[in-house]
């Protein structure tokens, strides 16, 4: 599903939000600002995490907050993750395993939000083309980067159908 892949991450829309967290002096302040529910919601909206901002309700925001920002340990872990996003070595991981992908001959489902502004369908097609086995590519229309958040039931149904077909 819509994932950072190859050398396209962080995307141009995400990079400013990641870069500012790494600036000397201001970076820790920005990380503290992200703790605010309205600020986190605004950042996810401006960063185009979803196509439809109504998905960014406070239940979702609270889940992200609890998992990533709710205490000093989680904020430090989130800061390390964001720092890794800017490390060029991390940007090459998918490219380094392409030979392995080309030998992976098991059924695979590539499920992708068709309107992801960060990693659009061309990235899904590239991934499909790099996989050796039978690969199904399904683009969910009117769906952005966080397709699990925007279309949880449809994603679950597609995965269930894929697993049922693979089992039979």
Instruction: Read off the CATH number of the domain in which 160 is found.
Output: 3.40.50
At residue 25, the pLDDT reads 92
100 with 154, same domain: the answer is yes
87 with 109, same domain: the answer is no
- What does pTM read for this prediction? 0.84
**Side-chain-facing half-sphere of 31: CA atoms under 13 Å:** 25
CA 76 to each of CA 49, 62, 81, 146: distance values in angstroms, whole numbers, following the listed order: 22, 18, 9, 23
Q: Which of 91, 114, 130 is the last residue of a domain?
A: 91
Residue 27 CA to residue 11 CA, distance in Å, equals: 19
| Residue 3 belongs to a domain | no
For residue 137, the surrounding DSSP H or E stretch is strand 135-140
101 with 82, same domain: the answer is no
Question: In whole angstroms, what separates CA 31 from the centre of its chain?
Answer: 19
Would you list the DSSP string of 22-67? GSTTHHHHHHHHTTSHHHHHHHHHHTTSSSSGGG--HHHHHHHHHH
At residue 90, the pLDDT reads 78
Domain limits for position 85: 15-91
At residue 124, the pLDDT reads 94
Q: Which of 91, 106, 126 is the last residue of a domain?
A: 91
86 with 121, same domain: the answer is no
130 with 77, same domain: the answer is no
At residue 66, the pLDDT reads 92
At residue 87, the pLDDT reads 85
139 with 97, same domain: the answer is yes
pLDDT (tens place) for every residue of the chain, 168 residues total: 988 878 887 888 888 988 999 899 998 899 889 889 899 999 899 888 899 999 999 999 999 999 999 998 998 899 888 888 888 877 777 788 889 999 999 999 999 999 999 899 999 999 999 999 899 999 999 999 999 999 999 999 999 999 999 888
Q: How many domains does the chain have?
A: 2
Residue 18 CA to residue 27 CA, distance in Å, equals: 9
């Amino acid at each position: 599903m819509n994932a950072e892949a190859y050398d396209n991450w962080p995307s141009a829309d995400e990079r400013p939000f990641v870069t500012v967290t790494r600036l000397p002096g201001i970076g820790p302040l920005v990380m503290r600002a992200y703790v605010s529910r309205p600020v986190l919601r605004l950042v996810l909206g401006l960063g185009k995490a979803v196509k439809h901002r109504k998905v960014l309700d406070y239940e979702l925001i609270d889940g992200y907050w609890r998992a990533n920002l709710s205490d000093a340990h989680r904020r430090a872990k989130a800061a390390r993750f964001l720092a890794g996003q800017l490390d060029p070595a991390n940007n090459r991981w998918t490219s380094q395993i392409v030979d392995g992908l080309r030998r992976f001959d098991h059924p695979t489902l590539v499920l992708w939000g068709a309107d992801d502004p960060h990693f659009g369908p061309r990235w899904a097609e590239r991934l499909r083309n790099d996989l050796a086995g039978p690969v199904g590519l399904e683009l969910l229309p009117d769906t952005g980067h966080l397709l699990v958040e925007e279309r949880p039931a449809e994603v679950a149904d597609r995965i269930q159908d894929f697993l049922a077909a693979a089992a039979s």
